[in-house]
C-alpha cells in the first residue's frame, strides 16, 4: 500500500545500546523528516533530508545520526541510547519542503530507554 | 523556550460548545499550518495560512492568521466528539520548521 511506514512501532532498549528506527515512503517525496514528540514540547525536528544523500540538522540533533542512500528510506540511529531519548518518534515526508506543503506523517515509533 | 506557544494546553468541553485555541509567537512567520493528531497516530494537516489577516474556514473550523503574522487562532463552532484530539500549530522560522506546544481537546458527548 502507498504511504509512509515506520518500524518498529514499539521498542524497549537499554542505556548505551544502538537503536535504529526505520522509515519508508512510497510517494517518491523529495523531503523526509524525523521528529520526536514529548509532553510539553510538541514535536521537535531532529533531522531532515531534501534528497538522497542530502541531510541537515534540525532543532535537536544531538545523539542522533541519519542517512539517506535511497529516496524512499530515511533511517534514524541512536548510537548510544540515553534515558532522555525515551520519546515517540515520527517520520514525515513532503514533496517540496515545509511551510506551504503538506507533511505526511507515519504512525510513530514509541521508544523506551531503560 | 518554545518558539510557538499554544493555549490552552488542555481543554475539555461539552458537545455543542464553541472554543478557540491560540498559537502565539514573538517571531514573524512566513506561513502557519494547523495539524490535528489523534491518539496513536501522526499529525494530519488541516490548513495552511499565508497572508497576514487571512481567514480560512473548513466546515465548523475557522482559522485566522494575525495581521503581523506572529499569531494564529483556531475556532471550532458546535464542537463534536469527533473533534477530540491534539491540535498543533506549526511554521517556518529562518530555515527551520517548528511545531507549537499543542492543545489537547476533549469533547464530551
Least confident of A100-104, B32-36, B74-78: A100-104
CA atoms within a 13 Å half-sphere pointing along the CA-CB vector of B83: 28
Count of positions (residues) in chain A = 114
B10-14 and A109-113 beta bridge pairing: unpaired
pLDDT of residue A2: 66
- Residue that the C-alpha cell 491560540 belongs to: B22
Q: Kindly state whether B74 is in contact with chain A, defined as any CB-CB distance less than 8 angstroms.
A: no
Q: Which residues in chain A come in under a pLDDT of 50?
A: none
Are B92 and A53 within 8 A, CB to CB?
Answer: no
CA distance B102 to B36: 9
pLDDT of residue A96: 79
Residue B1 has pLDDT above 70, yes or no: no
Q: How far is A1 from chain B (nearest CA, A)?
A: 17
Classified by CATH at the fold level, domain B5-108 comes out as: Immunoglobulin-like (2.60.40)
| Residues B43-75: tens digit of each pLDDT | 999 999 989 999 999 999 999 999 999 999 999
CA distance B58 to B45: 12
Q: What is the DSSP letter of A79?
A: S
Q: Please report, for chain A, the start and end positions of each structural domain, with discontinuous segments joined by +.
A: 17-101
Classified by CATH at the fold level, domain A17-101 comes out as: Immunoglobulin-like (2.60.40)
pLDDT of residue A1: 58
Q: In chain B, what residues touch A108 (CB-CB under 8 Å)?
A: 40-42
- Least CB–CB distance from B92: residue in A41, A92, A99: A99
Q: Please report, for chain B, the start and end positions of each structural domain, with discontinuous segments joined by +.
A: 5-108
CA distance B16 to B58: 17
Which residues between 50 and 69 in chain B have a beta carbon less than 8 angstroms from any beta carbon of chain A?
Answer: 50
Q: In chain B, what residues touch A107 (CB-CB under 8 Å)?
A: 40-42
Nearest CA to B99 out of A98, A111, A29 is that of A98
pLDDT of residue B34: 96
> Residue A57: which region, alpha, beta or left (left: phi > 0; alpha: psi -120 to 50)?
beta
Percent of chain B as helix, strand, coil, to the nearest 5:
5, 55, 40
Cα A107 to the chain's mean position, in Å? Answer: 11
Which residues between 16 and 45 in chain B have a beta carbon less than 8 angstroms from any beta carbon of chain A?
Answer: 30-31, 33, 40-45
Amino acid at each position: 500500500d502507498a504511504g509512509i511506514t515506520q518500524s518498529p512501532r514499539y521498542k524497549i532498549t537499554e542505556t548505551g545500546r544502538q537503536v535504529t528506527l526505520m522509515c519508508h515512503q512510497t510517494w517518491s517525496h523529495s523531503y523526509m523528516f524525523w521528529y520526536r514528540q514529548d509532553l510539553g514540547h510538541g514535536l521537535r525536528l531532529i533531522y531532515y533530508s531534501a534528497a538522497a544523500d542530502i541531510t541537515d540538522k534540525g532543532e535537536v540533533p544531538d545523539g542522533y545520526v541519519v542517512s539517506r542512500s535511497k529516496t524512499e528510506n530515511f533511517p534514524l540511529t541512536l548510537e548510544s541510547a540515553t534515558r532522555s531519548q525515551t520519546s515517540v518518534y515520527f517520520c514525515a515526508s513532503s514533496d517540496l519542503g515545509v511551510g506551504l506543503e503538506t507533511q505526511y506523517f507515519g504512525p510513530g515509533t514509541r521508544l523506551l530507554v531503560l | 523556550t518554545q518558539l510557538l506557544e499554544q493555549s490552552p494546553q488542555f481543554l475539555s468541553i461539552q458537545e455543542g460548545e464553541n472554543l478557540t485555541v491560540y498559537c502565539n509567537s514573538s517571531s514573524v512567520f512566513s506561513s502557519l499550518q494547523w495539524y490535528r493528531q489523534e491518539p496513536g497516530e501522526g499529525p494530519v494537516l488541516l490548513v495552511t495560512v499565508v497572508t497576514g489577516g487571512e481567514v480560512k474556514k473548513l466546515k465548523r473550523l475557522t482559522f485566522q492568521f494575525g495581521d503581523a503574522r506572529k499569531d494564529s487562532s483556531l475556532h471550532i463552532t458546535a464542537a463534536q466528539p469527533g473533534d477530540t484530539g491534539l491540535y498543533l500549530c506549526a511554521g517556518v522560522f529562518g530555515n527551520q520548521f517548528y511545531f507549537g506546544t499543542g492543545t489537547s481537546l476533549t469533547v464530551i458527548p
